[in-house]
Chain A
Amino acid sequence: MAEVTFLEALRQGLWEEMERDERVFILGEDVGLYGGAFKVTDGFSKRFGESRVIDTPISEAAIVGAAAGAAHMGLRPVAEMQFIDFISCAYDMLTNYVATARYRAGLGTPMVVRGPCGGYVRGGPFHSQNPEAAFLHTPGLKIVYPATVRDAKGLIKASIRDEDPVLYLEHKWLYRRIKEQLPEGEEILTPIGQARLAREGKDLSIITYGATLWKSLEAADQLAQQDGVSVEVLDLRTLLPMDDAAIVSTVKKTNKALIVHEDTRTGGIAGEIAARINEQAFEWLDGPIMRVTAHDVPIPYAPTLEDFVLPQTDDIVKAARWLAKY
């Protein structure tokens, strides 16, 4: 066992897949000799050569488009967005070209688009985004969003091995903040499409993913200690396809659902989850399905502003307490 960070686990996963399968290659901005803006691909160019770790122009659409072409030909590209905020520049390529390819034309496009997302890091409007809702609406894409060190590794490996295009979202606040003991020499693969029960409880379910998993777990601890409320926490891990069974199962158990995500509220994933609970577990509900999300504003820079806009542990505690009493 060795203690590794989220970032190191991701790096290990990429490295192992590059070693295992020569079809895997990386392309993106500054990923080569520089090793990536966050050093996720540090040392890759030296080990695997410039033909498998390709520095590209600042051209997100070309990065994603070229990855798609290579994927059609049997390669396994991993395209890095330097910050995931810039994925909007490749939105057309991902949603119109890549996501539809199998359905409309029978074209396999096994590729991963990954990049650092999320706030709490004073990144301002263009280095803090969570773009998952913009892509949730796209049949043909898969979206994974690991919250733990183990899943950072297990999901990047599973994404690279998947036969379809996967958007892998990695929260930069977690990169070096969380650590975990990972076994050495053991293959870690996290199945795509399966949520994980992060904490068992009986009074209320928090359904979440990404950085807010940790804030939700903190909130659950506080509620247990201060209120004697037993909170169950579900870590979705994959957002598309969504693990309906796990969501319905926890709601049927606790009869109350609080959905927590860092992304803004309107059109956010919480709305979709609420709709599914309504359709599949309406009779089991003992209270309204509630949401804790970011406010509907671009993510601001100043600590006072960002802390107010993004959901905090204290917000989750208050919301869960309110719902528990309902």
Chain B
Amino acid sequence: MPSGGAAGAAGAALPRDQLLEIYYYLRLTRTLEERLVALYRQTKVIGGLFRSLGQEGESVASAYALERGRNKDILSPLIRNLGSMLVMGAQPVEILRQYMAKAESPTRGRELNVHFNDLEKGYLGQISHLGDMIPVMAGIALTFKMRREPRVGLVYIGDGGTSTGTFHEGLNFAAVQRLPLVVIGEYNHWAYSTPPEKQFAVKDLAEKAKGYGVPAVTVDGNDVFAVYEATKFAVDRARRGKGVHFIEVKTYRRKGHAEHDDQHYVPKEDLDRWATENDPVDRYRQRILAAHVVTQADVTAIDDRVRVEVDQATDACVNEPLPDAESALPGVYVEPPAADKLWFKAL
């Protein structure tokens, strides 16, 4: 597997507080998802639950390479990029409320899981139609270009998602327009139950991007430093007006498509190998400890802090009500302000 190489070594030169911040987001992603599993089993999660187990590293690392803060860079995450959203400032309580369809959730019970947005913080929620966010994020990057703002868009696409028409139309449009857009191609080996060899005839997703004149690299997606460095390079390049960049991250989806899916179609030895030898959080922790930049006490303190934060977020919202039924009607348009309530409701 390709590694970050020298770029990875450079990433290790990040200052201590940033190394710990990255660890915080990795741990927060995993612990928050583990909490969601518990809530799912208690039937408090209304719909499906989607894990990013094994993909936390590339999510956090790629988002961390962006400029964050009010009205800086913008990314569009997929269902397995919870970590990316947390890095951009999404709050655990918002995620919990979304999954539990609470009235106070960011979408007031209208949309599921991580499908929500805060453009000022810098994330635009996906829709379920894979590929569609590529043209939309191209439009956002087009706006940056038209306004001559030094901002960058970043968008994720899965291995299966690269089979959609919108992926190709959007990538080509962005390439022709030389837009400040970075595309992260997540090769996680499974599109629901479909393996790559049934999805495309190329070996690497990077080959597809190259077909559009887009520079593309393939990196070890479970090496946080490699993903960070590759993304940082691409983001800086895009910010300088050099156009689109594609980064393929090789990783592995270690849970089923969603929590209901027992992934019987996945070879058990593969799952075991990726879990024991190539867990991105374990690898990252071992690496920062081995570099003697942080201590075990630092890491344990973050683990404890995350546990408390997830507990507090859960307590804050778990007993909140669902939205009032009739709140389903307003907000389709600005004008008219609400859909008509149908006649039989008044009988």
- Residues facing B in A17-71 (CB within 8 A) are 25, 51-52, 54, 56-57, 59, 61-71
- Stretch with Cβ within 8 A of B (4 or more), from A80-88, A92-100, A117-125: A92-100
A110 (CB) vs chain B CBs: closest residue: B334
The residues of A that contact B333 with a CB separation of less than 8 Å are: 102, 140, 142, 163-164, 241
Does chain B have a CB within 8 A of A298? no
Whether the pair A75, B146 counts as a contact (CB closer than 8 A) is yes
Complex Cα spacing A162 to B334, Å: 9
Whether the pair B111, A96 counts as a contact (CB closer than 8 A) is no
A19–chain B nearest beta-carbon distance, Å: 17
Categorize the interface residue count of chain A.
Answer: 35 or more
Whether the pair B165, A97 counts as a contact (CB closer than 8 A) is no
Residues 170-205 of chain B: 1 if any A CB is under 8 Å from the residue's CB, otherwise 0? 101100110000000000000000000000000000
Residues 97-130 of chain B: 1 if any A CB is under 8 Å from the residue's CB, otherwise 0? 0000000000100110001110100001101110
The residues of B that contact A71 with a CB separation of less than 8 Å are: 139
Does chain B have a CB within 8 A of A297? no
Looking at A25, A57, A93, A107, which has the most chain B CB atoms within 10 Å of its CB?
A93
Whether the pair A62, B132 counts as a contact (CB closer than 8 A) is no
Does chain B have a CB within 8 A of A265? no
Number of residues on chain B facing chain A (CB within 8 A): 40
Whether the pair A139, B339 counts as a contact (CB closer than 8 A) is yes
Whether the pair B119, A140 counts as a contact (CB closer than 8 A) is no
- With beta carbons under 8 angstroms apart, the residue of B169, B339, B343 that contacts A57 is B169
Does chain B have a CB within 8 A of A321? no
Whether the pair A96, B129 counts as a contact (CB closer than 8 A) is yes
Whether the pair B117, A107 counts as a contact (CB closer than 8 A) is yes
Complex Cα spacing A57 to B176, Å: 8
The residues of A that contact B136 with a CB separation of less than 8 Å are: 65-66, 68-69, 72, 97
Does chain A have a CB within 8 A of B135? yes
Do A106 and B172 form a contact, CB below 8 Å, given A62-B138, A62-B166, A67-B139? no
The residues of B that contact A61 with a CB separation of less than 8 Å are: 132, 135, 165-166, 169-170
Complex Cα spacing A72 to B177, Å: 19
Whether the pair A102, B173 counts as a contact (CB closer than 8 A) is no
Whether the pair A69, B143 counts as a contact (CB closer than 8 A) is yes
The residues of B that contact A140 with a CB separation of less than 8 Å are: 332-333
The residues of A that contact B125 with a CB separation of less than 8 Å are: 105
Complex Cα spacing A102 to B116, Å: 11
Does chain B have a CB within 8 A of A325? no
Complex Cα spacing A64 to B169, Å: 11
Does chain A have a CB within 8 A of B140? yes
Whether the pair A106, B107 counts as a contact (CB closer than 8 A) is yes
B174–chain A nearest beta-carbon distance, Å: 8
Residues 269-306 of chain B: 1 if any A CB is under 8 Å from the residue's CB, otherwise 0? 00000000000000000000000000000000000000
The residues of B that contact A105 with a CB separation of less than 8 Å are: 107, 110-111, 115-117, 125
Whether the pair A70, B165 counts as a contact (CB closer than 8 A) is no
- With beta carbons under 8 angstroms apart, the residue of B132, B137, B170, B177 that contacts A96 is B132
A24–chain B nearest beta-carbon distance, Å: 12
A224–chain B nearest beta-carbon distance, Å: 37
Looking at B136, B166, B173, B339, which has the most chain A CB atoms within 10 Å of its CB?
B136
Whether the pair A62, B173 counts as a contact (CB closer than 8 A) is yes
The residues of A that contact B127 with a CB separation of less than 8 Å are: 96-97, 100, 104
Whether the pair A64, B110 counts as a contact (CB closer than 8 A) is no
Whether the pair B332, A59 counts as a contact (CB closer than 8 A) is no
- With beta carbons under 8 angstroms apart, the residue of A65, A103, A164 that contacts B135 is A65
Complex Cα spacing A261 to B117, Å: 41
B153 (CB) vs chain A CBs: closest residue: A69
- With beta carbons under 8 angstroms apart, the residue of B116, B128, B134, B143 that contacts A73 is B143
Whether the pair B132, A92 counts as a contact (CB closer than 8 A) is yes
Complex Cα spacing A108 to B124, Å: 12
Does chain A have a CB within 8 A of B335? yes
The residues of A that contact B247 with a CB separation of less than 8 Å are: none
The residues of B that contact A279 with a CB separation of less than 8 Å are: 343
Does chain A have a CB within 8 A of B331? yes
The residues of A that contact B343 with a CB separation of less than 8 Å are: 279
Does chain A have a CB within 8 A of B336? yes
Complex Cα spacing A241 to B146, Å: 33
Residues 134-152 of chain B: 1 if any A CB is under 8 Å from the residue's CB, otherwise 0? 1111111111001000000
- With beta carbons under 8 angstroms apart, the residue of B110, B116, B146, B169 that contacts A103 is B110
Complex Cα spacing A105 to B339, Å: 17
- Residues facing A in B331-347 (CB within 8 A) are 331-336, 339, 343
Whether the pair B135, A66 counts as a contact (CB closer than 8 A) is yes
Complex Cα spacing A268 to B106, Å: 37
A77 (CB) vs chain B CBs: closest residue: B139
A58 (CB) vs chain B CBs: closest residue: B169
Whether the pair A59, B172 counts as a contact (CB closer than 8 A) is yes
Complex Cα spacing A59 to B176, Å: 12
A240 (CB) vs chain B CBs: closest residue: B333
The residues of B that contact A92 with a CB separation of less than 8 Å are: 129, 132, 166
The residues of A that contact B339 with a CB separation of less than 8 Å are: 139
The residues of B that contact A68 with a CB separation of less than 8 Å are: 135-136, 139
Q: Which 8 A-B pairs have the closest CB atoms?
A: A69-B139, A65-B135, A66-B139, A62-B169, A59-B169, A73-B143, A62-B173, A69-B140
In the assembled complex, 11 residue pairs joining A and B whose CB atoms fall closer than 8 Å, in A order, are A57-B169, A59-B135, A65-B169, A66-B136, A66-B138, A69-B136, A70-B142, A73-B139, A73-B140, A104-B127, A163-B334
